[in-house]
Structure 1
Amino acid sequence: MITNTDVSKTLVSRLSPVALAVALTVPAISHSAFAQEAEATEEQMYEAITVTATKRPQVIYEVPIAISAFDGDMLAEQGITDLTDVGKFVPNLNVTGFSAGHTSSVNPFIRGIGLQDHLITTDPGVSVYVDGVYLGRQVGQNWSLNNIERIEVLRGPQGTLYGRNSIGGAINIITKEPDQGDVTKVNAEFGTRGRVKTDLFVNHALSDTLAFNMNLAYNTRDGLGEFINVPNAEYDVGETEDISGRISVKYEPSDDFRMVLTADANNGDGGLRPYTVLIDEMPEGRFYAGTNSLGLELRNSDVTPEGYDIYDNATGTPEVTSVSNEARGVSLTTEWDISDDYTAKVVASRRTSKYKAGLDDDGTIYSLDQYPERGEADQTSIEVQLNGYINEYTDFVAGLYYFNEEGSNRQGSDSSFDGGGNTLQLDQETTSKAVYLNLRHDLTDELSVSGGIRYTEDEKDASANVFDALGTIFDSNEWDEVTWELATNYTFENGMTGYATIQNGYQSGQYPARPYCLIGEFFGAGGFDDLDGAVAAVNASNCFVASDNITAVNYEVGVKGRVNEYFDVSVAVFNTEFEDLPYQVSRVSEGGFDTANLVVEQTSRGIELDTTLNVGNFSMLTSIGYMDVEVDEQDGFNPVAPLTPDLTFAIGPSYTFDLEGGDKIRARIDYSYRADMYGEPSSEPARMTEIESRELVNFDVAYTPADEAYTVALYGRNIFDERYDNARLNTGDYILQVLSNDASEFGVRFSTEF
């Protein structure tokens, strides 16, 4: 059983002196704040945020699930510039980037559930939504956190209201709608590592019924290393440059009807994500043993020659030195208040995304294994909702949902495996349809119950070609699933809320990501002459088979709310059971970089804590997550380790100094800790895939004059320059060590509004 005492002991034993110093200064600051400000005014007291996690507006403490929310105007102060940064401050949330070495990739894991991969035949375990629109792909979107109203992180399966691919949870990004106010905001950052970030936001009323807002942003940052064998490389290792824009128009001819039309676009370019290849650790591997096509015995010194570090890249293949991404989207949201009790809503969207990336897996100047890659996806979604009140005690949300995605991934003539040609052609079309209903009923003033059900049908048509002699293999499959949830809320006399929830989630079956097993199946045990073409094709098609549905059931209890006028808390204890959960493991096979699924049953349990303290001019945010995971052993499988740290911790104290004349200085520091974990689902120590724990510290010191005409701040992110791994993969020939692109940065931040 996990207790608060256990968590406290674990914290003390694992956190560094830096973390303890931050934590131990809090009581002293808090005591000083109490002494200076005996009572908090209404303006100083924390206002509970309103969220739409249940697709209806609710105060965050009324939602019977574990949820963290971030106010958009506070993101920069906390050092949050993208979704990766959000993952530093939410309990049991870890966001990494891998995806063929692309710097824009975002791979969120909530409670250990997510997906490292990005190919079209794979689906994420955590769904990301922007203004109600599901983002099907994790590469090529590079969502910029500008014009943000708030971000909501829903932990645990969300299958009823958010549908498939949310067995770990969901992330909601809600942007600012146009309104009748006239405002212009300018933000700018200039810092070390060549940081230049500018953002313009304009909101303007065109008439009593028509308003618009627009957001233009430019963001660039230098790299962490050089391509030492490609002197004419356009970008350095880890260098990023992105430009994005978004415009929304709101038409509201009456109080009962409104439409918001939004278009967005982004283009990103840069250098390959930092990574290195560990060869000496695998003496039996193809690289080290010299059994490759070049007859070379490669060493770590070939990847990182003397005089260079692991953030430099020794590839001799220009095609893998740069990455790019672009996305385009348009959405139309229409709301109609049919009566005082009923509102209809339609969200329709069309999105496209493209990317270019790829790795040189040997990491040397030699042309041995390199995989330049291109991918694209087009998606269309329509959701129709009806919500309202059946009577004064009962409200509901009902909806119909349609989603279609067509996408492809390609490795072509510039890709090679062991010095020879390497083909990867994946195509897939996914069609998903669903209907859902969620009801909430107040039994008394204190007690309410809610429940939901969703029926989903999925169809996938997929094809793969990894071997020209075999040609393209086609397959189709259909899945369906019923997901449901039951919850109850009770409001105590002190205003706090207790809840208990049973909820489940669903992820449709998936085809293999890199089915190079097709080649082995084509030849058979006796070689090519042992099989005729028809038999070979049948054997190979048996390798390109979709997995079963993945299901999850979560049991959760929690308490949340305002303890007193100074202190807010949210505590959740959960137990989640997964069936047919696939863990991806990649190996070098006869034909190429083969990716297989280890399908397991898993039980995850843990505790999560979010707190907010506001006393006078002092405030502090704290989050703690602790997890214990059990994976049932499967015959013939190696041990499987979950892709999550068992302990996450973050703390962010802030104090505002009131100066003479009404000027203010606000000082804030944020500390984030993630415990060690494995970089792929194998817990064998000999596999060398353990990722060490990491600690990150940010600070922000901001000055605002009495007239609040502007704010200027000094900031530092990852101020101790913690270098850490995002992933480690053991292919059998080498260890691929994917490094973070997150180095220290210091600079000045300026914002003004008029």
Structure 2
Amino acid sequence: MSRALILGASSFALLSTPAFAQDSGQATENSSDQPAGTGSYRPGEIVVTAQFREQKLQDTPLAITAVDSALLEARSQDDVQAVAQQAPSVTLREQGGAYGASMGASIRGIGQFDFNPAYEPGVGMYIDDVYYPTLTGANFDLLDLERVEVLRGPQGTLTGRNSIGGAIKLFSKKPEYETSAFAEASYGTRDRLELRAGMNFPITQNLYARLSGVHKEQDGYVDQVDYGCANPDNPEGIAPTIGNDGTGSTCVLDKLGGQNYSGLRGAIRWEPSSDIDLMVIADYQNSDRTSAAEVQLVGPDNFDCGRFCTYTNWFLPAAGDAGAYYTSNRNKFNGWGISGHADIQLSDNVQLQSITAYREYNNKWGTDDDFSPNPAVAAGGINDLDFWFFSQELRVNATLTDWADVTIGGFYSDQRSTYWTQQDIRYFGPEPLQFIGNDPVNADSKAAFGTVILKPTYGLTLTGGIRYTEEHKDYTFVRRNLQYEQAPIGSGIEALDGLKSVYDGDRVDWRISADYRFSPAVLAYVTVSTGFKGGGVTARPFLPTHATEGDFGPETVTAYEAGLKTNLFDRRVQLNLAGFYNDYKDIQLPLSDCSAYGGGPCAVRANAGDGEIYGFEAELNAEPVDGLMIDGSVSLLGSKYTFIADAVGTSVQDDDPIVSPEVQFSAGIQYEVDLGDTGSITPRIDISHRGREFHGHALDVVSTDYEYYKAYTLANARLTYRNADRDLSVALELTNLFDKYYTTSRFDSVYNFARTAYTQVGRPREWRLSIRKEF
């Protein structure tokens, strides 16, 4: 950790040096004026709406990473997960194959990584101010976006429940009156093909539309190999499922980690007058790809296929009530949503905003939990998750005087999930535990909120906010035999059929903040705020008492933060600093001892821990000379548990970190070389570092080395040519430039039964050539 701290600090210092060498004077112009230079993006000038009103990033007293479309393009970032590489204290991770098309998220060590609808996210995800309430389907493609805002720290009064760690907000480009269009085509490693296009056009003088679409496909990078085919004389006697020509070339069944995604977005906007702005946005997305790129981490040596190879087969032989069958290595996601946005200026000082939204999706996937070809230890399942969600939000923004602004509003949401699953648990006892679940999960939430912003004297702003939330969730358990005719017999699980687990709760969150502008170049702020992640119910009970008594309340945080935002050296440098301390209470943890819930195997979740999280973050954006852009970030985090319930057992221990990695940093630099009438050429390089990340103790019996994912540093490079009119660009990019081998997630839940565990591996070095034309 000390080496990483030194490296991170040194990199940040090096990035800062060129900018400070330019000018030692203080900026004297107002911070809202246009900055110097001619660069293509200006993070300090991005207008954000984190406080429900338009403010420049450097005028907003919150820890925010804001990235506009130009910087997204410069960094070769086309999905929301990629943005996390440059945002301090942020983890966005596409989950392994056992969790479907889901993405885990945490900010400052607080988040959630289980897709099950019984559990709530810990980071709020928003698209055009519409809340996205699940981890499933959350790795959004950044299609036709205006900007991304990453709000760090609890947003309990602003965005509400489940933003205990923070919030990530995506804003698409709005339709405008001007006619414009773009088209982009890319080709790259493993037959990567990507097509993007969009157009903006007026329908009438006050009515305009915007349409955009994307399709991307790419072969996977982990070979799924037929074990019997590649090892015809294997000691287990496993027969091949495909022919073998003696060379092994025909033994590859599939390629894991591939892409096959299509998405459409459309918006229509009506402005009948300067006081009324109405917009409807609709989107559709479809993905049908192979499962995540995972390989064996622990298991028999003869089942170790290699760094980018696996022998897993998604096959279960006949056992119990089940005949032999394949669970499928496909991951299929299909979803759509529509939202209506009304922005009405009721008077010079009063604005009404209404946001109405509906979304639904379906995700189907299979799992091979033992991740091996061994039929003697097979375990897996089939999953089919249906979901729909409705929400309505109203806000009124009012300017009471020239020194007082107020926002009041209300929010309502209703969501339904139906989680169909066929579970084949062969490690439960002498007989396999096999059942079909078809569990309906209902949840709704109501909230009322208000924020007051006061400016009692020049340079000083005081902000106070409060939010009251009520939430309800009920989960009905369906447990039937594999023929779906009657409740299964044995193991006590038949008693779960028809049981309903219910959670009801409410919560008040608040925020108090003060910021002071010492000069046009320097803004300092302090804030105290609270947030919570919603309560819920135990999703995977083994006994009726686990279901009926296994509900749990919200986990909460009280956060203390101080920060500094600067526009230095004639606004060529934006340097933002933040330090924070989180008092983290009622942490939702899995139990290993269910004595208080009737005994038996235990998968109950409860409010079973308290802790502290603290840290420092810095972000830099600089243009020391025209055309040279430098950006960087660093986060240093620490944490400790102050209480862990005895029922948690050894899965979480007193000296375990709550938050990891403790060190993250990133740096990027680009320089646009002017070629006169020929155009320009811009080389860019980015690096990002993640320190070691704590996983858990499940594999301690093998080696304590498996407690952590190893630290890694990635580098990306991009070379872009633009013509003189800047409407045509050609870019060559390399990701994972030094071909670093690293792992991002792990599944080890069946190790005690199968003696196997597997891990998701990151993408190897890849190249892509892109051509983009704007009209």
TM (normalized to structure 2)? 0.84
1:324 equivalent to 2:332? Answer yes
Is 1:569 the counterpart of 2:575? The answer is yes
In the other structure, the counterpart of 1:600 is 609
1:752 aligns with 2:773: yes
| Partner residue in 2 for 1:238 | 257
CA contact (8 A) 2:96 2:292 kept: no
Q: Specify whether residues 390 and 452 from structure 1 end up closer, same or farther in structure 2 by C-alpha distance, changes over 3 A only.
A: same
Of 346, 361, 365, the residue aligned with 2:373 is 365
Within the alignment, does 1:674 sit opposite 2:675 as a pair?
A: no
1:194 CA displacement: 1.9
Post-superposition offset of 1:689: 3.0
Seen in structure 2, the aligned counterparts of structure 1 residues 310 and 751 have a Cα distance that, compared at 3 Å, is closer
Secondary structure of the 1:172 match is strand
Q: Which amino acid aligns with 1:606?
A: G
2:457 aligned counterpart, secondary structure: coil
Q: Which amino acid aligns with 1:301?
A: N
Q: Is structure 2 residue 407 aligned with structure 1 residue 393?
A: no
Write out aligned runs for 1:213-612 (5 A): 213-229=210-226, 236-280=255-299, 299-302=300-303, 304-305=304-305, 308-317=306-315, 318-367=326-375, 368-412=378-422, 420-466=433-479, 468=487, 469-470=494-495, 471-516=497-542, 518=543, 539=545, 541-542=547-548, 544-565=549-570, 566-584=572-590, 594=603, 596-597=605-606, 599-612=608-621
Between the aligned partners of 2:592 and 2:479, the Cα distance in structure 1 is 16
Secondary structure of 1:88's partner? helix
Q: Is the 8 A contact 1:216 1:246 kept in 2?
A: yes
Query: How far is 1:414 from its partner?
Result: 7.1
The Cα shift of 1:111 comes to 0.6
452-461 or 471-480, which deviates more: 471-480
Q: Distance in 2 between matches of 1:476 and 1:316?
A: 35
Alpha-carbon separation, structure 2, partners of 1:25 and 1:485:
36
* Structure 2 CA distance for partners of 1:181 and 1:106, relative to 1, 3 Å: same
Gaps of 5+ in 1: 1-6, 35-39, 281-298, 519-536
Maintained 8 Å contact 1:510/1:546: yes
> Is the counterpart of residue 644 in structure 1 residue 660 in structure 2?
yes
Query: 1:234/1:56 Cα in 2 relative to 1: closer, same or farther (>3 Å)?
Result: farther
- Shift in Å, 1:437: 0.3
2:124 aligned residue (121, 124, 127): 127
How far does the alpha carbon of each residue in 1:330-367 deviate from its partner, in whole angstroms, 9 at most, with x for none? 11001110011011011000000111123211112244
User: Does the 8 Å CA contact 1:224/1:741 hold for their aligned counterparts?
Assistant: no
Matches within 5 A, 1:73-152: 73-98=70-95, 100-101=97-98, 104-152=101-149
Task: Give the Cα separation in 1 of the matches to 2:638 and 2:160.
Answer: 26
Alignment pair present for 1:726 and 2:766? no
Q: Percent identity?
A: 23
Contact kept? 1:99, 1:117, Cα under 8 Å:
no
Residue 712 of structure 1 is aligned with which of 718, 722, 730? 730
| RMSD (CA atoms) | 2.9
Residues 717 and 597 of structure 1, relative CA distance in 2, 3 Å threshold: farther
State how far apart, in whole Å, the 2-side matches of 1:439 and 1:366 are.
Answer: 63
Letter in 2 for 1:558: G
What is the CA–CA distance in structure 1 between the aligned matches of 2:634 and 2:546, rounded to whole Å? 48
Alignment of 1:658-673 (within 5 A): 658-661=674-677, 663-673=679-689
Structure-2 change in CA distance of 1:676 and 1:701 (3 Å):
same
Q: Which deviates more from structure 2 when the two are superposed, residues 425-434 or residues 734-743? A: 734-743
- How big is the shift at 1:25? 7.6
Task: Determine helix, strand or coil for the equivalent of 2:45.
Answer: coil
Q: Which residue of 2 aligns with 1:48?
A: 45
Deviation at 1:514, TM superposition (A): 1.9
Residues 1:614 and 2:620 are matched in the alignment: no
1:614–1:588: structure 2 CA closer, same or farther, 3 Å change rule?
farther
1:628 maps to what in 2?
A: 638
Question: 1:653 & 1:351 partners in 2: Cα distance?
Answer: 39
Summarize deviations over 1:675-699 as a string: whole Å, max 9, x none.
0011248896748231000111111
With 246-255 and 726-735 compared, the bigger mean Cα shift is at: 726-735
**Secondary structure of residue in 1 paired with 2:81:** helix
Q: Describe the SS at the equivalent of 1:579.
A: strand
Q: How far apart, in 2, do the equivalents of 1:165 and 1:143 lie?
A: 19
Once the 2 structures are TM-superposed, how far is the Cα of residue 86 of structure 1 from its aligned partner? Answer: 1.0
Determine the C-alpha separation between the residues in 2 that align with 1:23 and 1:389.
41
Q: 1:540 to 1:683 in 2, by over 3 A?
A: closer
Shift in Å, 1:426: 3.2
- Of residues 671, 693, 699, the one that matches 1:655 is 671
Q: CA separation in 1, counterparts of 2:389 and 2:586?
A: 27
Structure 1's 339 and 24: CA in aligned 2 closer, same or farther, altered over 3 A? closer
Deviations along 1:609-667, one digit per CA (max 9) or x if unpaired, are 00111022211001000100011242423304325200010000111111132621111
How far apart in 2 are the matches of 1:41 and 1:95? 34
CA distance in 1 between counterparts of 2:603 and 2:330 reads: 24
Q: Tell me by how many angstroms 1:132 deviates.
A: 0.8
**Mapped contact 1:412–1:422 kept (Cα < 8 A):** yes
Say whether the 8 Å CA contact 2:503–2:552 is kept in structure 1: no
**Whole-Å separation in 1 of the counterparts to 2:602 and 2:255:** 26
How far the C-alpha of 1:325 sits from its partner, in A, is: 0.5
